[in-house]
Amino acid sequence: MVERCACCIVGGGPAGMMLGLLLARAGVDVLVIEKHADFLRDFRGDTIHPSTLEVMHELGMLDDFLALPHQEVRELHTQVGDVRVPVADFTHLPTRCKFVAFMPQWDFLDFLAARAARYPPFRLWMRAEVTGLLEKAGRVVGVEVMTPEGPREVRANLVIGADGRHSVVRAKAGLEVLEFGAPMDVLWFRLSRHQDDPVASMGRFGDGRIFVLIDRGAYWQCGYVIAKGTIDPIRRQGIEAFRESIARMASFLRDRVGELRNWADVSLLTVRVDRLARWYRPGLLCIGDAAHAMSPVGGVGINLALQDAVAAANLLAAPLIDGRSRVEDLARVQRRREMPTRVTQWLQVQAQKRVIAPVLAGAAPTRLPLALRLLRRFAILRRIPARLIGIGVRPEHVKAPALRG
């Protein structure tokens, strides 16, 4: 069975769903393919940045979006030993929303899917897994898909790989990957939250460990940063030792670490930082984590992916409507988004080398690093990391005129 469309987007994550919505809104016949039956998966990127909220405003969706349950964070702090340091102040950003919104990613994706479905050119296949690419004379012309009804072929003028850091599309396309390494992995889990708990912090540093707390209302989303390759020794020590380590990092959680019954309650994120040398081939383009896997440092990966989607829609909608998919247009998307990707990844790698790796190696600073001392003393400096985290290096805007959805 053969399906045809102007654009086939592989992956129903933030980049894929946002691009599908924007292209359908512009009148492009678009099909989004998602391998899971729903969007309900824990410990995915749940940060909605001010730049993304600006895009939602430009689409006329902001009020409805913010009616969904979420938490708003206007300042980020970190804690080194017993010293609490303010790091980023979003209240001075030149955006309509001067905060980062924390929202379960499944709510965000459900919202985008529902809004995209209002446009007749939009289609979404769930429980459909792409297994290969269709090629003709060196050009990608579609994808092979396994669906609950059996194998299908989708023929498209353009295939977009938005299927994450373990992208099938980029692997099948044979695109060259540049690896930059990462010294850590992250163990994610949740613990209940009490009303008298302290406020969240973007990181607690001490005793060779880094611990992240994200306020999700009824519970804490916890990130326990470990040195890369050490998960097996940690598991061998047992869940009791892991609970005790958490309690030492955040003593107020000691009365509830027992909620971690076994290792099944802990999810491992294998951190990688990489980038495609070329994001495209004739008939194919990768965006988001499929083009550039990001470190969790700063929580900016989802923001970068969404900005890729906006830029791709702005640059590709008109050619796709005209029935064209030129390599030059795909190259323009990479040129537009490669600089912010390079800068962001460089900053992440520097933070990994200079801050995270020494802490995980057990190096205990005798005093606060100079950068944190300056942020603690001069409030105006907190606007710099706020800008980098909240807006990014090159924010994208929905191409006018905007149709209200």
pLDDT in tens, 69-105: 998 999 988 877 778 889 999 999 999 999 999 888 8
Give, in order, the Cα–Cα distances in Å from 202 to each of 61, 101, 287. Answer: 28, 14, 27
How much is the pLDDT for 402? 43
The pTM for the full model equals: 0.92
Whether the per-residue pLDDT at 194 is higher than 60: the answer is yes
Q: Summarize the confidence of residues 219-244 as an average pLDDT.
A: 93
Determine which of 44-58, 91-105, 195-209, 242-256 has the lowest per-residue pLDDT on average: 195-209
Contacts (Cβ under 8 Å, ≥6 apart) of 44: 13, 105
pLDDT in tens, 357-400: 888 887 656 677 788 889 999 999 999 999 999 999 999 999 86
* Residue 363 C-alpha from the chain's centroid: 30
Provide the mean pLDDT of the chain. 91
pLDDT in tens, 335-349: 999 999 999 999 999
Confidence of residue 139 (pLDDT cuts 50, 70, 90): very high
Confidence of residue 138 (pLDDT cuts 50, 70, 90): very high
How much is the pLDDT for 363? 66
Domains, the chain, with CATH or none: 2-46+105-180+273-357 (3.50.50.60), 184-227+229-269 (3.30.70)
pLDDT in tens, 236-247: 999 999 999 999
Highest mean pLDDT among 77-81, 267-271, 315-319, 371-375: 315-319
Q: Summarize the confidence of residues 126-146 as an average pLDDT.
A: 96
pLDDT above 70 coverage of the chain, percent: 95
How much is the pLDDT for 52? 95
Q: Summarize the confidence of residues 278-301 as an average pLDDT.
A: 94
How much is the pLDDT for 405? 41
Whether the per-residue pLDDT at 404 is higher than 80: the answer is no
